[in-house]
Structure 1
């Protein structure tokens, strides 16, 4: 009887420890470092609306607008993303100049990339 009670106590302790381990907080997610030359597509805006880069730099547009569909279309047709609800689009600028762009479904969304040589 004494052995049975001790064994039951060990089992209960093991379950208690296991349940406490299962209740521990998960490790906090590591924040991702921002990408250089990044434009966020969110809240029906491009942020920043204007960005300055050097010739040869790549701009990354990050689509994060809660499932709303957007794209990035250069007014001079030099680059165009597909319509997206999430993910990223990149374009490398090889010529200096001012590149204006817009969102096809939301023409009030506009942005500018100034490429300096």
Structure 2
């Protein structure tokens, strides 16, 4: 009986691990297109900075979601806005990251200070009740 329970527990654990892995893979793509509100299920949306561009230029998330920018370029970049409550990243060296947590709803337009043509938009919605 104990062996049967252990086997069921291992199967359940494997199913949960597989579901979590698939969820992350399906919601945190690295393409340049928009990310859906489903990305909020992972609690962190990752944006790479490479080749003088943000890997995602528009994302929609919910309050409480984190956005993490990582500089994969060979020069310093940041993600910042003057809007209240928006990201205020400092210049990042290669391989360094900046994480911002969405604490209020709204549309936040951000840019890279030394490269103002590098732009992105974050739409923050209320969490579903």
TM-score by length of 1: 0.65
Q: Which runs of 4+ in 1 moved over 2 A?
A: 33-36
**Structure 2 counterparts to residues 29-108 of structure 1, below 5 A:** 36-65=44-73, 67-76=74-83, 78-86=86-94, 87-108=96-117
* Distance (Å, rounded) in 2 between the aligned partners of 1:100 and 1:79: 9
Residue by residue over 1:75-106, the C-alpha shift from the partner in whole angstroms, topping out at 9 and shown as x without a partner, is 41533111112211000001111000000100
1:110 pairs with 2:119:
yes
Alpha-carbon distance in 1 for matches of 2:116, 2:99 = 20
Q: Which has the higher contact order (CA 8 A, sep 6+)?
A: 1
Structure 1 residue ranges without an equivalent (≥5) = 1-32
Point out the structure with the larger helix share. 2
Q: CA RMSD in A?
A: 1.8
* Number of positions where the alignment pairs a residue of Structure 1 with one of Structure 2: 84
* Mapping 1:11-30, distance limit 5 Å: none
TM-score for the superposition, normalised by structure 2: 0.60
User: Which of the pair has more CA radius of gyration?
Assistant: 1
Q: Distance in 1 between matches of 2:68 and 2:87?
A: 12
Partner Cα separation in structure 2 for residue 44 and residue 75 of structure 1 = 21
Is the contact between residue 98 and residue 114 of structure 1 (CA under 8 Å) also seen in structure 2?
yes
Asked whether the equivalents of residues 75 and 99 of structure 1 are also in contact (C-alpha less than 8 Å), the reply is no
Quote the offset at 1:62 in angstroms: 1.0
